[in-house]
C-alpha cells in the first residue's frame, strides 16, 4: 500500500499538547543564527600622555612577537622539509639551521596532528625527530598515544617496538601502557599475544587489569564473534573482583543485538539493571532499540523505548534515526510520520543520516514526489548529500522505470563533489538493468572505470542477471568470462 506523505499541521498532536507547534515543517537548522552588524573591531590607539619609554617598550614587544612567529614558521617549514626528504639533517642545516633546535610546540603539534589523523608512518618520523631534539625528555604519555594509534592502524609489531623503547628509556610502564599494547594485539586479531599480556599484568604490582582493560579485550573478541572468549573474560573479571561498568554492558548489548542473540542481550540488560552503580544510558537504549527494530520486532522495540523513557533516559537524534529506520524498513509509514512530527515539534535538527533514512524509505515505497521534496529540502538546509543518498534515488528511479530521472541524478553528481564508490555504480548498473537499458548499463561500467572504481563480482553478477532477463545470452556469456577472471 502506498504510504500517505506526512502532512504537517500548525497544531501539535495530543502527545505533545503542551508544546507549541513549529512554524516550519522541519526542525530549525542550527545555522540560522541572528548575527549583529557593526561589531567593534580591534582597537589600537596611543594615548597622548604616553611616555617615550612606554612607546619603546611596545615596539620592543612587537619585535619579539614577530621574531617568535617567524621562529615558529621556520620550525614548521623545517619539519616539512625533514619529512619530505631522505637527507633530513643536511637539508635542515642548509635551510633553517640546526635540526636539533626546533621549537617544542611546533614538533609536538605536528606529532599530535598525525596521531589524530592516524597517519602512523608520518607520526613515527616526527617522533624520531622529536627524540633528536636537545630539549627532549622521555614521556610515557607520548609513547602510549603512539602505541594506541598503531593499534588502531593494525601495526602491533611496531607498537611492541615502541613499548620496548619506552622501557629502555626509563619511562614508567604502568597499567595504561600494558593496556595500550594489549589493545594493539587484540585489534589485529592476535589474541594469544593479547591474553598473554593480560596474564602478565596480573603478576605485576600496580599493573592489575581494570575494567577498562577487560572492556577493550571483550570488544575485540565481540568484533570477531568469539562469544566463548567473552564468557571466559567475564568469568575472569568476577574472579579478579572487577565489576563491569556501563561501557562494558553497552558493548555486550550492542554486539549481542547485532548478532541477533536476543536472549543473551536481555540477560546482560537484566544483569546491568540489578547493579546500582551501573545505570543504563542513552547508548544502552539505542543499542536495544536498534537490535529489536532492525530485526522487525517493532512491538518489543516500542515497549523498550517506553521503559527507557520512564527510567528518565532522554532520546537523542540517533534514537529517532533508529526509530525512523525501523518503521521505514517495515513499511510502517504512519508511525514513521509520527516520529517526524515529534522531531518537528521538539526542534530536533535533521542530520545527513536522518535524511538518508527517510529518502530511502519513501523511495522504496514508490513515493517519488515526497522523496524528491526531501532531497531538495536537505540541500536547502545545507546538508550535503553523499553516496548513500544518491544510491537511494537511483534505486527508486530504477524500480519506477524513470530513466530520465536517473540521468538528472547523474547531472547532479557531475556538478557536485560527491565521492562516488563501487556501491553507487552497482546501484546504477542494477537500475538500468531492471529497465532493460542495456546501452546505459554498459556505459555505467565504463563511467565506473573512468572514475577510478573497479567493478567487482556484484557488478558482473548484476549485469549477467539483466542480460539473462533480456534474453541476451551472448552478452551474458561474455560477462561470465570477465567474472571468471576476477
CB 255 within 8 A of CB 234: no
Please say which residue of 403, 419, 435 terminates a domain: 419
The average pLDDT across 275-290 equals 94
pLDDT digits (tens, 9 = 90+) for 386-431: 999 999 999 999 999 999 999 999 999 999 999 999 999 999 999 9
Would you tell me how many other CB atoms lie within 10 Å of the CB of residue 9?
A: 9
Task: State the DSSP code for 25.
Answer: S
The verdict on residue 327 lying in a domain is no
Q: Tell me if 341 is assigned to some domain.
A: no
Average pLDDT over residues 361-390: 96
Tracing cell 572492556 back to the chain, one arrives at 215
Q: Is the pLDDT of residue 62 over 80?
A: no
Asked if 274 contacts 267 with a C-beta cutoff of 8 angstroms, the reply is: no
Q: Per-residue pLDDT averaged across 312-325, rounded?
A: 97
Residue where a domain stops, chosen among 382, 400, 419: 419
Burial class (CB in 10 A: 0-12, 13-18, 19+), 417: exposed
Q: Could you tell me if 390 and 433 lie in one domain? A: no
For the chain, the average pLDDT equals: 85
Please write the tens of the pLDDT for every residue from 188-240: 999 999 999 999 999 998 899 999 999 999 999 999 999 999 999 999 999 99
Number of domains within the chain: 2
Q: Residue 470: inside a domain, yes or no? A: yes
| Distance, CA of 410 to chain centre | 27
For residues 373 and 413, state if they share a domain. yes
Quick one: 414 and 356 in the same domain?
A: yes
How far apart (Å, rounded) are the C-alpha atoms in residues 286 and 317?
10
In a domain, 84, yes or no: no
- Which residues fall within 8 angstroms of residue 186, CB to CB, at 6 or more apart? 194, 216, 217, 220, 221
Please provide residue 190's backbone torsions phi and psi, each rounded to the nearest 5 degrees. -90, 75
Q: Which of 27-31, 141-145, 173-177, 336-340 has the lowest mean pLDDT?
A: 27-31
Residue 97, pLDDT score? 46
Q: Is residue 444 part of a domain?
A: yes
Residues 430 and 472 in one domain: yes
> Maximum CA pair distance of the chain?
96
* 395 in the same domain as 359: yes
- Concatenating the DSSP letter of every residue in 146-163 gives HHHHHHHTT-HHHHHHHH
Confidence of residue 469 (pLDDT cuts 50, 70, 90): very high
CA distance 414 to 420: 10
- Are 364 and 410 within one domain? yes
**CA distances to 20, 25, 27, 203, 340 from 344, in Å:** 11, 6, 5, 57, 6
Residues 429 and 372 in one domain: no
Q: Which of 419, 442, 471 is the last residue of a domain?
A: 419
Is 454 a domain residue? yes
Question: What is the tens place of the pLDDT at every residue in 265-282?
Answer: 999 999 999 988 889 999
* pLDDT classification of 79: cutoffs 50, 70, 90: low
State the pLDDT at residue 276: 84
Domain-embedded: residue 120: no
**pTM attached to this predicted model:** 0.74
Burial of 74 (0-12, 13-18, 19+ CB in 10 A): middle
Q: Which three cell numbers stand for residue 199?
A: 596474564
The range of the structural domain enclosing residue 439 comes to 423-485
Spatial separation of the C-alpha atoms in residues 244 and 214, rounded to whole Å: 9
φ, ψ dihedrals at 54, nearest 5°: -65, -40
Q: What is the DSSP letter of 133?
A: S
Q: Is residue 457 part of a domain?
A: yes
Q: pLDDT category, 461, cuts 50, 70, 90? A: very high
Query: What pLDDT, in 10s, does the model give residues 17-53?
Result: 332 333 333 333 333 323 333 333 333 334 344 445 5
Say how many C-beta atoms besides its own lie within 10 A of residue 334's C-beta. 11
Which DSSP letter does residue 444 get? Answer: H
Query: 366, 367, 314, 320: which is closest to 342 by C-alpha?
Result: 320
- 249 has a pLDDT exceeding 90: yes
Amino acid at each position: 500500500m502506498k504510504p500517505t506523505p506526512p502532512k504537517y499541521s500548525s497544531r501539535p498532536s495530543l502527545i505533545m499538547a503542551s508544546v507549541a507547534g513549529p512554524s516550519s515543517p522541519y526542525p530549525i537548522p542550527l545555522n540560522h543564527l541572528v548575527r549583529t552588524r557593526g561589531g567593534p573591531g580591534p582597537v589600537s590607539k596611543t594615548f597622548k600622555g604616553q611616555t617615550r619609554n612606554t612607546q619603546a617598550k611596545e615596539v620592543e614587544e612587537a619585535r619579539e612577537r614577530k621574531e617568535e612567529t617567524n621562529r615558529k614558521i621556520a620550525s614548521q617549514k623545517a619539519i616539512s622539509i625533514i619529512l619530505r626528504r631522505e637527507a633530513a639533517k643536511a637539508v635542515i642545516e642548509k635551510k633553517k639551521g640546526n635540526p636539533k633546535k626546533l621549537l617544542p610546540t611546533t614538533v609536538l603539534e605536528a606529532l599530535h596532528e598525525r596521531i589524530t589523523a592516524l597517519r602512523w608512518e608520518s607520526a613515527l618520523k616526527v617522533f624520531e625527530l622529536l627524540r633528536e631534539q636537545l630539549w627532549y625528555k622521555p614521556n610515557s604519555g607520548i609513547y602510549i598515544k603512539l602505541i594506541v594509534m598503531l593499534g588502531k592502524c593494525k601495526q602491533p609489531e611496531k607498537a611492541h617496538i615502541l613499548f620496548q623503547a619506552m622501557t629502555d628509556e626509563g619511562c614508567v610502564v604502568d597499567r595504561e601502557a600494558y593496556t595500550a599494547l594489549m589493545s594493539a594485539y587484540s585489534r589485529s586479531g592476535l589474541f594469544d599475544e593479547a591474553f598473554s599480556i593480560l596474564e602478565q599484568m596480573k603478576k605485576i604490582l600496580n599493573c592489575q587489569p581494570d575494567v577498562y582493560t577487560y572492556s577493550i579485550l571483550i570488544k575485540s573478541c565481540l568484533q570477531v564473534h568469539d562469544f566463548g572468549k567473552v564468557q571466559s573474560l567475564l568469568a575472569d573479571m568476577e574472579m579478579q573482583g572487577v565489576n563491569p561498568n556501563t561501557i562494558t554492558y553497552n558493548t555486550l548489548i550492542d554486539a549481542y543485538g547485532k548478532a541477533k542473540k536476543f536472549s543473551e542481550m536481555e540477560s546482560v540488560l537484566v544483569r546491568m539493571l540489578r547493579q546500582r552503580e551501573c545505570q543504563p544510558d542513552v547508548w544502552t537504549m539505542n543499542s536495544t532499540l536498534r537490535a529489536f527494530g532492525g530485526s522487525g520486532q517493532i512491538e518489543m522495540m516500542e515497549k523498550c523505548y517506553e521503559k527507557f523513557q520512564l527510567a528518565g533516559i532522554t532520546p537523542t537524534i540517533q534514537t529517532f534515526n533508529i526509530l525512523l529506520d525501523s518503521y521505514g524498513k517495515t513499511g510502517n509509514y504512519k508511525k514513521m510520520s509520527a516520529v517526524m512530527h515529534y522531531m518537528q515539534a521538539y526542534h530536533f535538527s535533521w542530520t545527513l543520516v536522518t535524511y538518508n533514512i527517510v529518502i530511502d524509505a519513501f523511495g522504496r515505497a514508490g513515493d517519488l514526489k515526497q522523496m524528491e521534496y526531501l532531497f531538495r529540502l536537505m540541500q536547502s538546509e545545507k546538508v550535503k548529500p553523499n553516496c548513500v543518498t544518491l544510491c537511494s534515488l537511483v534505486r527508486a528511479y530504477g524500480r519506477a522505470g524513470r530513466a530520465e530521472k536517473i540521468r538528472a541524478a547523474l547531472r547532479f553528481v557531475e556538478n557536485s563533489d560527491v565521492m562516488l564508490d563501487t556501491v553507487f555504480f552497482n546501484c546504477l548498473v542494477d537500475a538500468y538493468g531492471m529497465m532493460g537499458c542495456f546501452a546505459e548499463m554498459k556505459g555505467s561500467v565504463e563511467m565506473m572505470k573512468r572514475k577510478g572504481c573497479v567493478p567487482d563480482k556484484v557488478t558482473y553478477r548484476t549485469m549477467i542477471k539483466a542480460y539473462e532477463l533480456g534474453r541476451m545470452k551472448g552478452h551474458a556469456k561474455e560477462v561470465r568470462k570477465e567474472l571468471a577472471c576476477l
